[in-house]
């Protein structure tokens, strides 16, 4: 398939789906559930079990947390435990969680379908192309290096004690998630600072070699 | 002696292009030391992440702590840097990978919340960052087991006796692993 058609078509399709998801069918629990089943099935077929479970483990926690928050706020706003009110909160939370999961999987389907070769084959000016190359390279690095977070955290003894303990206290778990987000953020920033000039240097070198060759 | 890892005999597909064959079960014990040798690209690092580490983690419950330093220390470097200096507001010198590995090793050695003081070190070619002799030097005060993956077994000047986990190439996509116990152990 032509890479321009693939990327543009993929982008438009993703954009429309996300808009429909968030504005048209957002209140229909049944359609949201069916859509999630279809998207998840498609993702599983295309990217395999490993990538699927990695993503699922990460986002399911957020989805469950979201439902929990809705129930807590529902309880607080109702003033007392009313079955209908709690049920309503649970349904609202479930819909929001389904919208979140659908959006994540649809966006991932689009992003993961774009390869470096697709980006290179579109005739964008080099100043824009290098940004796309940098973003895709960073994404590849993050995917490969953050492959197994449990193994990575074997480098800090406090986290291992928490991991071994039956009674897991909240503070170390909170710290663990904070450090995970910080590492991810600063890794992308610092690697971007290193990779950016490297890509610039290669462009300059290629340009000079081409000019001298002529 | 406590077992820290048992990997059954068999064929293991470590990734799409690498298969390893283990003819005899690999049984690793707490208190013994192992050196992992074999040529470049034979699957030592993949074996560590895919088979050895998960098996050691499974057996670690309350018996020992695990220190794992991968060949590419980048992410671990960021985790250590932003945890200790960023979140705990310490002022440690993390200007080189050597200093970071040395720092975190001492954190494990002097970690007082774990009474057993048993630590399993799994270090994958850290000799590119610091000398192995220097790494082993501070470990006398604790009970430890070390898995040391290296290319330069001959250059290792240490009194420690290592059992040798040998990787041999069968063909381009296949390797064989065997464990040779040191007779003096």
SS3 B153: helix
- B119 pLDDT higher than 50: yes
Range of the domain at A23: 3-116
Query: How far B60 CA sits from the closest chain A CA (Å)?
Result: 8
> What is the domain count for chain A?
2
Q: A106, exposed or middle or buried, with CB in 10 Å at 0-12, 13-18, 19+?
A: buried
A25 and A110 fall within a common domain: yes
Cβ B113–A157 below 8 Å, yes or no? yes
ipTM of the complex: 0.78
A74 and A147 fall within a common domain: no
Decide the pairing of beta strands B18-22 and B10-15.
antiparallel
- Start-to-end CA distance of chain A, whole Å, equals 34
Decide if A175 touches B, using CB distance below 8 A.
yes
Interval B43-85: pLDDT, tens: 898 899 889 998 998 888 778 889 999 888 888 888 898 889 8
Q: Which residue of A has its CA nearest to B105?
A: A155
Interval B155-164: pLDDT, tens: 666 677 888 8
A90 and A147 fall within a common domain: no
A18 and A99 fall within a common domain: yes
**In the predicted model, what is the mean pLDDT of chain B?**
85
Distance between CA atoms of residues B29 and B33, nearest Å = 8
A44 and A107 fall within a common domain: yes
- This prediction's pTM: 0.72
A49 and A154 fall within a common domain: no
CA A20 to centroid of chain Cα atoms: 20
Domain boundaries defined on chain B: 3-180
SS3 B131: coil
Q: Which whole number is the average pLDDT over B114-131?
A: 84
A94 and A12 fall within a common domain: yes
The half-sphere exposure of A52 on its side-chain side, counting CA atoms within 13 A, is: 12
Residue that is last in its domain, among A116, A141, A162: A116
Cβ B79–A160 below 8 Å, yes or no? no
CATH code for the part of the protein at B3-180: 3.40.50.300
- A73 pLDDT higher than 90: no
Q: Which residues of B touch A183 (CB under 8 A)?
A: 75, 78-79, 82
Reference A122, options A6, A14, A211, A15; nearest CA is: A6
A21 and A51 fall within a common domain: yes
Q: Which residues of A touch B62 (CB under 8 A)?
A: 164
Cβ B57–A178 below 8 Å, yes or no? no
Residue that is last in its domain, among A116, A140, A173: A116
Is the separation of the CB atoms in B145 and B33 below 8 Å?
yes
Q: Which residues of A touch B78 (CB under 8 A)?
A: 183, 186-187, 190
> Averaging pLDDT over each range in A165-174, A199-208, B119-128, which range is the top one?
B119-128
> Measured between CB atoms, which of A150, A158, A186 is closest to B82?
A186
A90 and A15 fall within a common domain: yes
């Amino acid at each position: 398939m032509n890479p321009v058609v693939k990327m543009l078509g993929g982008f438009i399709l993703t954009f429309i789906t996300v808009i429909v998801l968030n504005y048209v069918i957002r209140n229909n629990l049944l359609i949201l559930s069916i859509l999630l089943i279809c998207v998840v099935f498609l993702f599983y077929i295309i990217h395999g079990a490993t990538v699927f479970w990695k993503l699922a483990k990460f986002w399911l926690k957020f989805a469950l947390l979201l439902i929990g928050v809705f129930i807590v706020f529902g309880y607080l706003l109702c003033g007392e435990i009313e079955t209908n009110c709690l049920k309503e909160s649970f349904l609202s939370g479930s819909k929001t969680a389904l919208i979140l999961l659908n959006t994540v999987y649809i966006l991932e389907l689009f992003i993961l379908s774009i390869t470096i070769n697709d980006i290179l084959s579109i005739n964008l000016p080099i100043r824009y192309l290098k940004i796309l190359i940098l973003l895709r390279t960073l994404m590849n690095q993050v995917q490969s290096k953050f492959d197994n977070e449990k193994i990575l955290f074997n480098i800090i003894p406090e986290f291992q004690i928490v991991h071994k303990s039956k009674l897991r206290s909240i503070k170390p778990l909170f710290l663990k998630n904070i450090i995970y987000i910080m590492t991810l953020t600063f890794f992308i920033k610092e690697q971007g600072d290193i990779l950016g000039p490297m890509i610039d240097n290669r462009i300059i070198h290629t340009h000079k070699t081409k000019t001298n060759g002529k | 002696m406590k077992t820290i890892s048992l990997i059954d005999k068999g064929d293991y597909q470590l990734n799409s292009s690498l298969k390893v064959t283990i003819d005899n079960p690999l049984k690793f014990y707490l208190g013994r030391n192992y050196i992992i040798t074999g040529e470049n690209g034979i699957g030592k690092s993949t074996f560590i992440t895919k088979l050895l580490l998960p098996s050691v983690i499974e057996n670690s419950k309350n018996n020992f702590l695990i220190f794992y330093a991968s060949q590419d220390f980048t992410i671990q470097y960021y985790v250590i840097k932003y945890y200790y200096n960023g979140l705990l507001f310490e002022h440690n010198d993390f200007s080189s990978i050597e200093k970071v590995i040395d720092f975190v090793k001492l954190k494990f050695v002097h970690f007082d919340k774990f009474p057993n003081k048993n630590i399993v070190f799994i270090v994958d070619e850290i000799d590119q960052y610091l000398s192995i002799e220097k790494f082993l030097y501070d470990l006398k005060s604790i009970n430890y087991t070390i898995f040391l993956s290296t290319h330069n077994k001959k250059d290792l000047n240490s009194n420690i006796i290592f059992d040798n986990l040998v990787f041999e190439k069968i063909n381009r996509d296949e390797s064989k692993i065997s464990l040779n116990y040191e007779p003096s152990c």
